[in-house]
Amino acid sequence: MEFKLSFNVNDAIYLKNPEGTELGKRIMKESIDLINEIGFEDFNFRKLALEVGTTEATIYRYFENKHRMLLYIISWYWFYIDFLLDYNLKNIASPAQKLREIIRLLTHELPESTSGIDYNKKYLNNIVIAESSKVYLTKEVAEINEHEVFKPYKDLCARIASVINDCNKKYAYAKSLSTTIIETAHQQQFFSAYLPRLTDATEKNRKDFTNNFLDDLVFKVIS
């Protein structure tokens, strides 16, 4: 199923809303493709401008720097995950099954997009796994946080924590476990792909390894 979505990303992140123009949408689409291809360290606005067919100065009209652009991409992703949870959980009554579906969603690739201007969800997922920690592992994190730019992530963690509490109301660390689920999902997917000796992943079990590991860990912790 293909979705064309637009979310209200915090306007403190950008100078000009990229969703407001066709050029801005193309800039974001090409930025996701390029970061996925070359990595965030080698990514810059000069290279992006060449891919888009515009000028570097034009991209700077939308974002102050590439870190703010990455923050926009990651924020959009958290909104998208929350949307998918709305869609996937609406017919599930059991809290345990809801939690398993959350884990499944966070540990498997999102479907690749096929529509023209839509963001490539597979590439977006790759960026989140490899690059998302860079948006908050920065000296400016306290200043950035003052503008509530991490709210989509916090809201998602709170939503997962609520499901954990529904599974076991006596469990005292639901918020911490919710962030652990998300961050471990990213780390284990990255390690199993690039540094497999840091995990128990094998060629045979790699596809579902992170899902199975987290499912085992989480339900043993809250039982």
Phi and psi based region of residue 53 (left: phi greater than 0; alpha: psi -120 to 50; beta: remaining): left
Domains of the chain, residue spans: 75-222
Asked if residue 1 has pLDDT above 80, the reply is: no
Asked if residue 163 has pLDDT above 60, the reply is: yes
> Could you report the per-residue pLDDT of 167-218, keeping only the tens digit for each?
999 999 999 999 999 999 999 999 999 999 999 999 899 999 999 999 999 9
Q: CA-to-CA distance for 24 and 34, rounded, in angstroms?
A: 15
> Could you report the per-residue pLDDT of 4-29, keeping only the tens digit for each?
667 889 999 999 999 999 999 999 99
Least Cα distance to 138 among 75, 67, 76 occurs for 67
Residue 112 has a pLDDT of: 64
Residue 140 has a pLDDT of: 87
Please give the biggest Cα pair distance in the chain.
56
Tokens of 199: 């995990």
Residue 113 has a pLDDT of: 58
> Could you report the per-residue pLDDT of 90-117, keeping only the tens digit for each?
999 999 999 999 999 999 988 665 554 4
Average per-residue pLDDT in the chain? 93
The Cα angle at residue 87 between residues 25 and 175, in degrees rounded to 5? 95
- Indicate the helix (H) or strand (E) that contains 45: helix 45-52
